[in-house]
Amino acid sequence: MTQSKSISSNSSNSSKSAHSKPMIRTRFAPSPTGDLHVGGARTALFSYLTARHAQGEFILRVEDTDQQRSTESSVQAILDGMKWLDLNYDEGPFFQTQRFERYREVAQELIKNNQAYYCNCSKERLDQVREAQMEAHEKPRYDHHCRELNLEKDLDPDSNQVIRFKNPLEGQVSWKDLVKGEIKFSNQELDDMVIWRSDDSPTYNFTVVVDDVDMGITHVVRGDDHVNNTPRQINIFKALDKPCPVFAHLSMILGEDGKKMSKRHGATSVMEYRNLGYLPEALLNYLVRLGWSHGDQEIFSREELVKLFNLKAVNHSAAAFNTQKLNWVNQHYLKQAGLNLKNFEQIKPELIYHFNKAGISESDLNQGPDLQEVLKILSERVHTLCEFISFSKYFYQDFEVKDLDPVAVNKFLKPDSTPVLKLALEKLKNLSDLSGVSGWTLESIQKMIQDIAQELNIGLGKIGMPLRVVLTGGSQSPAIEDTIRLIGQERVIKRLNNYLK
C-alpha cells in the first residue's frame, strides 16, 4: 500500500502569512471499499478545479478507518482512477489508519476540556432505550446516561467502553452551503455520537474533523449524502475552537431512469469507462457538465475549466447520466485527434492500450498505415476507442479466409464476384511496385475501380462490396478506395491471393 506523508498537527498551510488571504485547500477523501465511481470522480474533479481556479492546493486522503471493508485493491483502484483522469494532487495520499495516535490525542483533549466523556452503556441497555423511544414515537438517540458521570478510562481490554462527544443540548447548527444555500439543524435533533469505539478505533465523523483541521482544509466538496454529517462535524470544529471550512454538497448523479445510479445502469466505475473505450478528457468533460455549466458551452479544455469553474455556479438539482451524451463528447475528442496532431498525441497512449488489449502490438501498428489517418476517416463512424479498434483491426492484423464474416460472404461473394476479384488483383499489382508508392494513390485506385466497371460492364457496388469483404473480413469499412489505399499494396495482394486460391 502506498505510504502516506506526514501531517503536522498544527498545520499552517492554510495561510500564506498572518496578513495574506488564506490559501484555498481542498481534499478528495474516498473510502477504499470499492472502485472509484463516477460520482466520486466528479467530486474529485470539482475539488480539484476549486483549488486550481484559486491557485490553491488539492489533497488526496484515503479514509480507511473501516478496516473490515477497506482493501488494498480498492486503494489501488482509487489511485489508478485519479492517475488516469490526471487529477494530480499536491499532497497525499494520506491514510487515516496511520494517524490513530493523533486521533487518540485529540479525543483525550476533548475529554480533558469536558467536550467528550467515557460511556459504559452495554449494547443490551442501548437496545432497550432505543425500543422504548420507538414505542413512544420518539427519534432514537442516546439518552445521556453517562454524560455527567465523569467515568474514568476502563483498562480492561474487553471492555465495551466508548468515548462520546458532548453535543450541545440547545441552539442550532447552520451554515451557508455553496451549492444548497442556507442549511439549519437543531442540536436537539443530534446525538452524543461515539467518537471512539470499544474496539479502540476512531469513528468517521471525528477523524474527518481532525484531518481537516490538521491539513488546513478551507473548502469541503462532497456528495449531499454527507449533509446529515455536517452539523455533527461543525460542532466538533467548535469544540476544538477551530474554524469550519466552507461546505459544498453536490447532488447525486442519477441513472437515465431517474433513480440513483448503480450497477443496474451499466458501468459505474471510472476504470470500467476506460475499458469501454472512453477517453479521460471526454469523461471529465462530461462529468463537469453534470451540475455545472458556463452558458451553452459543452466542450472545455482543462485550461478553460480551471479558469471558469466556480462552485457557486453548480446546480443544486440532481443530474441524470446520459450515455448518448457521453458518446457524443467522446466522439468529439476522437474527431479532434484525427484532425490535430497535438490532440492525437494526447490520446495515442489510450489508443495503444486498447490495441494491445485486442492483441495488436505496437510493432503491428508500425507495420500498418498511419494511425491518425485511420482515425480521421473512421471518427465519424465510431464513438469509443473499442468501436474504433473493432473497425480498424484489419488495417494492422491479417486474418484467414475462414474468418470472413459468413453473412457478408453469403451476401456479397457470389460466383460472379470471382472475375471481378481476379481483374482487381491484376490491376492492383500494376499500380506500383511493392517497394514504392508511385501509383498507389487514391486517384489511381478510384480509376482502377472505374476501369473494372467499364470492362465488365457492371455497377460499382458489384466491385466495392466483394473487395471490401475479402480485404477487411466484413461488410463495414470506409470508402473502398480509402480502405485499399490504407491497407497497403502488399496486404491487399496477399489477401486477394489467399481468397482466390
- 319-355 confidence digits (pLDDT tens): 899 999 999 999 999 999 999 999 999 999 999 999 9
Beta bridge partner(s), residue 27: 59
Residue 16's identity, in one-letter code, is: K
Q: Which of 250, 274, 289 is the last residue of a domain?
A: 250
Same domain, 165 and 295: no
Q: Do 115 and 213 fall within a single domain?
A: yes
Query: Is residue 280 domain-resident?
Result: yes
Give the residue-averaged pLDDT of 393-399.
95
388 and 406 in a single domain? The answer is: no
Q: Above 50 in pLDDT, residue 15?
A: no
Q: Are residues 285 and 375 in the same domain?
A: yes
What pLDDT band is residue 21 in, cutting at 50, 70 and 90?
Answer: low
Does position 387 have pLDDT exceeding 60, yes or no? yes
The reply to whether 453 falls in a domain is yes
pLDDT value of residue 438: 60
Of the given ranges (64-78, 85-99, 254-268, 356-370), which has the lowest mean pLDDT?
A: 254-268
pLDDT score at 18: 39
Are 375 and 478 members of one domain? no
**C-alpha Rg value of the chain to the nearest Å:** 31
* pLDDT at residue 266 in the model: 58
Please give the Cα distance from 416 to 329 (Å, whole number): 44
Is 179 domain-assigned? yes
> Is pLDDT above 60 for 136?
yes
CATH number, position 386: 1.10.1160.10
Q: Is residue 239 part of a domain?
A: yes
Where residue 34 falls among pLDDT bands split at 50, 70, 90? confident
Summarised one tens digit per residue, pLDDT across range 181-206 is 999 999 999 999 999 999 999 999 99
- Same domain assignment for residues 359 and 378: yes
Amino acid at 207: T
- 298 and 169 in a single domain? The answer is no
> In a 3-state reduction of DSSP, which class is residue 116?
strand
d(CA 315, CA 318): 8
Query: Would you say residue 371 lies in a domain?
Result: yes
277 and 215 assigned to the same domain: no
pLDDT at 290: 94
Is residue 217 very low, low, confident or very high in pLDDT (cuts 50, 70, 90)? Answer: very high
User: What would the pLDDT profile of 291-328 be if each residue is shown by its tens digit?
Assistant: 999 999 999 999 999 999 999 999 999 989 999 999 99
pLDDT tens sequence across 456-495: 999 998 999 999 999 999 999 999 999 999 999 999 999 9
Same domain assignment for residues 317 and 365? yes
Domain count, the chain: 3
pLDDT at 219 exceeding the cut of 90: yes
Same domain, 278 and 224: no
63 in any annotated domain: no
pLDDT at 263: 58
**Residue 14's pLDDT band (boundaries 50, 70, 90)?**
very low
Phi-psi region of 202 (alpha: psi -120 to 50; beta: other; left: phi over 0): beta
Residue 465 and residue 407 share a domain: yes
Q: pLDDT value at position 1?
A: 38
Report the mean per-residue pLDDT for the chain: 91
10 has a pLDDT exceeding 50 = no
Same domain? 243 vs 161: yes
What percentage of the chain exceeds 90 in pLDDT? 84
Average pLDDT over residues 53-82: 90
Domain membership of residue 233 as a residue range: 101-250
CATH classification at residue 415: 1.10.10.350
- Which of 194, 227, 250 is the last residue before a domain boundary? 250
CATH of the domain at 109: 3.40.50.620
Q: Is 416 exposed, middle or buried (0-12, 13-18, 19+ CB in 10 A)?
A: exposed
Looking at the domain assignment, is residue 54 inside a domain? no
Q: What is the percent of the chain with per-residue pLDDT over 70, rounded to a whole number?
A: 93
Query: Cell match 460499382: residue?
Result: 460
Which residues, 6 or more positions from 177, have their beta carbon under 8 angstroms from its beta carbon? 183, 247, 248, 249
Q: Categorise residue 372: left if φ over 0, alpha if ψ from -120 to 50, beta otherwise.
A: alpha
Residue carrying C-alpha cell 503491428: 364
118-127, 193-202, 264-273: which range is least confident on average? 264-273
pLDDT at 163 over 50: yes
State which of 225, 250, 275 marks the end of a domain: 250
- Predicted confidence at residue 262, as pLDDT, reads 65
- Amino acid at the residue 288: V
**458 located within any domain:** yes
